[in-house]
Amino acid sequence: MAEIVNVSKTPDVLVLAHRGYWGRHSASPGVPENSLGSISAANHACMDGIELDVKMSKDGVPLLMHDFNLGRTTTIYNLHRQQKFDPMTNHGANPKVHDVLARDIDTLRLLTPDRRNTTGYIVPRVSQVLDEWKRLKMKTPLIFDTKTADAIRAIDILVRVKDIGGANTMAVKVNATLYPDPAGFYADAKNINVIPVYTTNMLGIISVADSLIKWSRAVQTIEINVKQKGGLLYFQKQISEQAGKRVGVFHAIPDGPISGGFYKNTGICCYKLSDVFYHHKVMGQPAGRDTEDHRGDLNFLLSQNYGLITSDDPKGTVRFLARAGKRRNHYQDY
């Protein structure tokens, strides 16, 4: 964790296993995302870190789920006695996570990544993840990707109560739009590390310049998603690098059933990266725009000197970085 948050320096590029080690890019393609199995597999492979997605149930229980809805990855259709959700047509059972009680979510099972079969894996509560991490004496740091302040507060309490090392082993990623100022975050969480995240569309929501100045005083690792050379946020990334920060990025690998397609955060298929290009305006006047998104290209990420890559293909990413001489002091394969 010390290297991930850049307290301990390394010239190597670090890799976070997004949703664990799962699916077609893993040794066990049937293991579902954000499952205890994907976490165990990533830990067994001694990966640099694991990024897990957190959502809140109706009664305020934090659990692992990438989407805001349950239809794509679970057997919610059995609980609701409805048709299985079809991401292509948007028909079938697909309630929002925050509309379902935790005890009901506990009864669900995760689907295989291809959605054809049901696995024995549950939708894990964060408390269960921490218990398993402690029981198995895992060493791989956990980074929870959170979208809401109540999730931050709940995770922070669990990390303290479970007494598993706190900031030495656990961190959260937070969108800078949720906490433009680190003071707000530290009022909610005192037991975990934090990595603020910036994306191009945030330029129209907050003052990214002001926010980045404040966060730069508080942390040593910042995720800044630049999509193209010289594009939006490129200047902010360069300034952060010059200040000695470890700058992270998301490796955008399509996860949908169609070519170049990404599942939406509702579980519906699909959008393409070009669908979410951001056009930035200042006082109503054009001030830059996304025209390309090369984050799926490891050669591009390498050329941009990123120090932390979050990827659904951690094995392939590590192999690529090793060939490029960017893993001299870390595992070069899994």
* Terminal Cα distance for the chain, rounded: 19
DSSP 247-268: EEEE-----SSSTT-EE-TTS-
Exposed/middle/buried for residue 89 (C-beta within 10 Å: 0-12, 13-18, 19+)? exposed
Residue 282 CA to residue 155 CA, distance in Å, equals 37
DSSP 34-47: TSHHHHHHHHHTT-
Give residue limits of the domains in the chain.
Answer: 14-323
Number of H helices, E strands in the chain: 10, 13
Pairing of strands 14-18, 49-56: parallel
Cα dihedral 13, 33, 85, 273 in deg (nearest 10):
0
Q: Indicate the length of the chain as a whole number.
A: 334
Residue in the structure block whose two tokens are 């959008």:
271
Residue in the structure block whose two tokens are 């290297």:
3
DSSP 166-204: GGGTEEEEEETTT-SSHHHHHHH-SSSEEEEEE-GGGGG
334 residues of the chain, pLDDT tens digit each:
999 999 999 999 999 999 999 999 999 999 999 999 999 999 999 999 999 999 999 999 999 999 999 999 999 999 989 999 999 999 999 999 999 999 999 999 999 999 999 999 999 999 999 999 999 999 999 999 999 999 999 999 999 999 888 788 999 999 999 999 999 999 999 999 999 999 999 999 999 999 999 999 999 999 999 999 999 999 999 999 999 999 999 999 999 999 999 999 999 999 999 999 999 999 889 999 999 999 999 999 999 999 999 999 999 999 999 999 999 999 999 8
SS3 for 69-128 is ECCCCECHHHHHCCCCCECCCCECCCCEHHHCCHHHHCCCCEECCCCCCECCCCCCEHHH
Interior/surface letters 33-64, b for 16+ CB within 10 angstroms, e for the rest: bbbbbbbbbbbebebbbbbbbbbbbbeebbbb
Helix, strand, coil % over all residues of the chain, rounded to 5: 30, 20, 50
47: tokens are 């990966």
CATH-assigned architecture of domain 14-323: Alpha-Beta Barrel (3.20)
In Å, what is the CA distance from 166 to each residue of 15, 46, 185, 234, 249? 21, 20, 16, 33, 24
Q: What is the pTM of this model?
A: 0.97
Instruction: Look at phi and psi of residue 174 and say left if phi exceeds 0, alpha if psi is from -120 to 50, else beta.
Output: beta
Residue 157 CA to residue 167 CA, distance in Å, equals 12
94: tokens are 């697909």
pLDDT at 334: 85
